[in-house]
Chain A
Amino acid sequence: MGDAYTPGLTVTRSTVVRKTRRLPLPGEVLVKVGDRVAARDPVARAQLPGKVHLINVASALGVLPDEIAPALRVKIGANVTKGQKIGEASSLFGLIKSSAEAPCTGTFESVSAITGMGMFREPPVPVEVAAYVDGTVIEIIPEEGVIVEAHGALVQGIFGLAGEGIAMITMIAKQPDHVLEASDLKPEHTGKIVVGGARATLAALRRAIELKVAGVVCGGFAYQDIKELLGFDVGVAITGTEDLPTTLVVTEGFGDIAMARATFELLQSLEGKRASINGATQIRAGVIRPELMVPDDGSGNATVVEGGGLEIGAPVRCIRAPYFGRIGTVSALPVELHTLPSETKVRVLEVDLGTEKILVPRANVEVIER
């Protein structure tokens, strides 16, 4: 395991990103290769099958399941409206009449001669997928979606909540160690992406939600506050579907932790620009990072971000106690195994923090990629 280290988060002024925009089920692609698209433009559309309703037709008609067919007044496959009589039966020499009605507007799909259950489906619901970033369509996935390529600045976070948004960036913090408090948030932040420095307090996030702030980007957040906010623990880091008006992007981790200076300064330089933000996180196979992307005209020297190796001089972030959050550069890469205070024998590296040099397991640093 020569390269046992955590690939870093990308924080860069200019890069090329490719976003796969895929429908949840086969549908129609609305653009073609080479088209320029804006973040809010729809690129693909599909019809989600409508909700299914089941009713016991046999019981409603007072007949056995295999006696339903002659009693039907509507053909299988026909369109129906809610409350429409779909079957009628009479018993006791016509004295007792009973009927079955459609439970929804839609299609009468089937009725079972065994169970007596009738199935009705509501009309399909159209769903659209937007481009999410300003860019160019470079590939069409037939019936499924597109790949959009965009140039611009990219800041990846480590954990986020809630889904996609598009809004302007506003700096609140003046320093990366500024703790974002509720009092920092004002009505003028409604619909904006605000940038804090270190931890965002629970009160600050609640205030942001109240003001319908589009996004909050901060260095840290207390893990316990997630439960307070959502009402449940996020037991597995798979997020993005939380029903919140405000997207959260945490750049460093849980706890009181200042935003990395490079990240902070990049965000400062992007103040006033329109960004695409997404809190969706998946720390598992098919990793997804929360992010903030600011498109540009593509004239800058874009760096293609690749997972570099650990090498002397590489900037790294320590990602576990006792040095959690400290940033430095790799100053040595000893080959031999080192015994940690926990008695675990692992390969380590030496990190120069500027004030001191420390030994850290290679697995406990993240290369800062830019």
Chain B
Amino acid sequence: MGISPDDLRSVIATDCGSTTTKAILIERNDKGEYRLTSRGEAPTTVEAPVEDVTRGVLNAVREIQELRKRTFLTDDGSAIITPQSGPEDGDRGTDLYISTSSAGGGLQMMVAGVVKKMTAESAARAALGAGAIVMDSVSINDKRLPHEKIERIRQLRPDMILFAGGTDGGTRKHVVAIAELLRAAQPRPRLGTGYDLPVIFAGNKEIRGEIEQMLGGKVALQFVDNVRPTLEVEHLGPARDAIHELFMEHVMAQAPGYAKLMTWTGVPIMPTPGAMGLMIKTLAERTRTNVVGVDIGGATTDVFSVFDGTFNRTVSANLGMSYSVSNVLAEAGIGDIQRWVPFELDEADLRDRIGNKMIRPTTIPQTLDELKIEQAIAREALRLSFVQHKQFAVKLRGGQQERSISDAFDQDSTSTLVDMMKLDVLVGSGGVLSHAPRRTQSMMMMIDAFGVEGVTELAVDSIFMMPHLGVLSTVHPAAAIEVFEKDCLVRLGTCIAPVAVGKGHGTLCTVSYQGASHTISRGDLVLLPLGVDDTVEATITPTRGVDVGAGPGARVVKKVRGGVCGLVLDGRGRRPMPLPVSPPERVAAATRWTKALDLYPEAA
């Protein structure tokens, strides 16, 4: 980057998605604040007939130019002007241009390690954290025969492979065995034919020589520090950095137009999910909170979490709202989708509707019923993605742990790091959440899908700009945070959801603030007004056996922030949320809840 962060007057950031390229303009105003001032979008142009990603970028920036009535493109429209000129020249251009990308299927990786739940899992965490889709994880104990693994590696054609295995000074034989599989498979990269597949070795550093001997010259081999130098330590940073570097050098350089785009950007192009994860991490660090973020797209759903400082990301590659919508149906089953729909539905008709959405992915719901069905599917896509995330976001396995007597009786020794009672903030992103006609719809989709517990604040990304801000945070963290707080994050409000185990409990708890007291009864769903600028100190007193975060029956006093929706008191119980099964009861319950929150027009 040629300009000092302190002198930054304007930034244009784009995200080149698989279908749309989204551009935003951030400018510093007279008060010295960085604010979002304009946005534009255009179809991504990676595919034929254009086959040049920069065309879509220029089209999106041209939209900003027209809306902002300021020049950002050169006279022939072939490039973005950087840096910004002075007022005497009409403030042409922008000081910084940055970009993220998930076009062309994003970054697709294969990982390998010796033990599936140890080094291979660490490798997967490093790849996912860098923004990749993990196509497969190969390990010694993955229950496939060697020739099956070889066939699989050969068929995959990933963008790159992250190869871990062995602690430093640990196993040699098993790591070499994995290298033999790679050598036998002769894997080829997905894009282009004129270069060797990048393979990052992040395993036992003492056998680098043998790995070099076996794979050198056959693949583009690179060595980085071990992701698991000891079983008790996971060290993902160097592998992640190497992935980003190779993503730029190899993968991006092969995609149409990216060689040119890379010369335009002030900092390296980041994979979209990697940038979004960075923003979630920044939010958690700055506010010292536990955060879960989700980005639900057309093809995939990404879930990010930070609990007690530990970051995890998962990508559910085939759970999404358009391209993969039929897969949501296949995985959830028709019953689980129907339970969120407040009217009777014919099963064959629902299946055809979902199939048609899959083959016409850009269509939007015109009728209210179509919207309700789409939001029901979104709940299941989010729920399933979160289940996968919780299974992956676990404590390190394989290390020695001190165990107490009570631990010995606890069979769930690899429990998830995701503790809903400890979750402070849940942030949603993606079309179905960001563009829901009513914000309460977004809030309820997230409450239902994630099954929030205790006291949780909810927010959505206003226009899908977290990835843009993530990459900006690598250059100018303060500007990224300022725009994030003021323009990106739409605070929806807070949900208080007591957890009651067992039946009974007519009254679950009382919530008192500002001199008023509200009771949450079992089965109730209530929306109370609490404005976006309002934060109150609430005293939540559960009845015996009911937990709101401090243990069964224990009172919680907590600052509760309002939002554009307000405060939701959710008395539907939890673990799991007991939803009626019979169609008439299910419809009656769903109707009652949608009315309580004024979710849809007819309930008004």
Contacts and interface: CB of A to CB of B under 8 A. Distances in A.
B360 to A, nearest CB: 5
A364 B367 CA distance: 12
Contact of A342 (B19, B150, B354, B371): B371
B172 interface: yes
Contact of B352 (A3, A49, A223): A223
Contacts, number: 176
B188 A25 contact: yes
Interface string B171-201: 0110011001001111010000100000000
Contacts of B183: 110
A161 interface: no
Nearest to A365: B363
Nearest to B358: A237
B151 A236 contact: no
Contacts of B349: 255
B358 A236 contact: yes
Contact of B330 (A26, A119, A233): A233
B363 A363 contact: yes
A52 B104 contact: no
A303 B361 CA distance: 28
Given A159-B359, A222-B348, A321-B370, A342 B180 contact: no
Contacts of A41: none
Looking at B370, B435, B438, B601, the one whose CB has the most chain A CB atoms below 10 A away is B370
A142 to B, nearest CB: 10
A70 interface: no
B351 interface: yes
Contacts of A284: 18, 105, 299, 323
A236 B327 contact: yes
A1 interface: yes
B364 A361 contact: yes
B354 A119 contact: no
B316 to A, nearest CB: 12
A247 B324 CA distance: 23
Interface in B583-597: none
A341 B372 CA distance: 12
Contacts of B266: none
Which bucket holds chain B's interface residue count? Answer: 35 or more
Contacts of B47: 285-287
Interface string B362-405: 11111110110000000000000000000000000000000000
Nearest to A6: B362
Interface string A336-358: 00001111111000000000000
Interface in B310-335: 318, 323-324, 326-331
B534 interface: no
Nearest to B375: A342
A222 B355 CA distance: 9
A360 interface: yes
B172 to A, nearest CB: 7
B365 A224 contact: no
Interface string A1-27: 101101000000000000000000110
Contact of A109 (B184, B354, B365): B184
B365 A52 contact: no
A224 B348 CA distance: 7
Given A223-B355, A344-B371, A319 B363 contact: yes
B interface secondary structure, majority: helix
Given A233-B330, A283-B358, A343-B437, A6 B366 contact: no
Nearest to A281: B359
18 contacts: A4-B362, A6-B360, A6-B363, A54-B150, A114-B172, A117-B146, A119-B180, A222-B351, A223-B355, A236-B299, A284-B323, A285-B47, A287-B47, A320-B365, A360-B366, A361-B363, A361-B366, A363-B363
A321 B46 CA distance: 31
Nearest to A224: B351
Interface string B295-318: 000010000000000000000001
Contacts of A117: 146, 177, 180
B239 to A, nearest CB: 24
B105 A346 contact: no
Contact of B364 (A52, A254, A281, A344): A344
Nearest to A226: B355
A115 interface: yes
A94 B535 CA distance: 87
B177 A115 contact: yes
A223 B354 contact: yes
Contacts of B177: 112, 115, 117
B359 A236 contact: no
B12 interface: no
A1 B42 CA distance: 6
Contacts of B460: none
Interface string A216-250: 00000011101000001111110000000000000
B104 A112 contact: no
Given A6-B360, A159-B359, A253-B360, A144 B193 contact: yes
B457 interface: no
B46 A285 contact: yes
Nearest to A116: B173
A5 B345 CA distance: 29
Given A159-B359, A321-B353, A112 B176 contact: yes
A346 B364 CA distance: 9
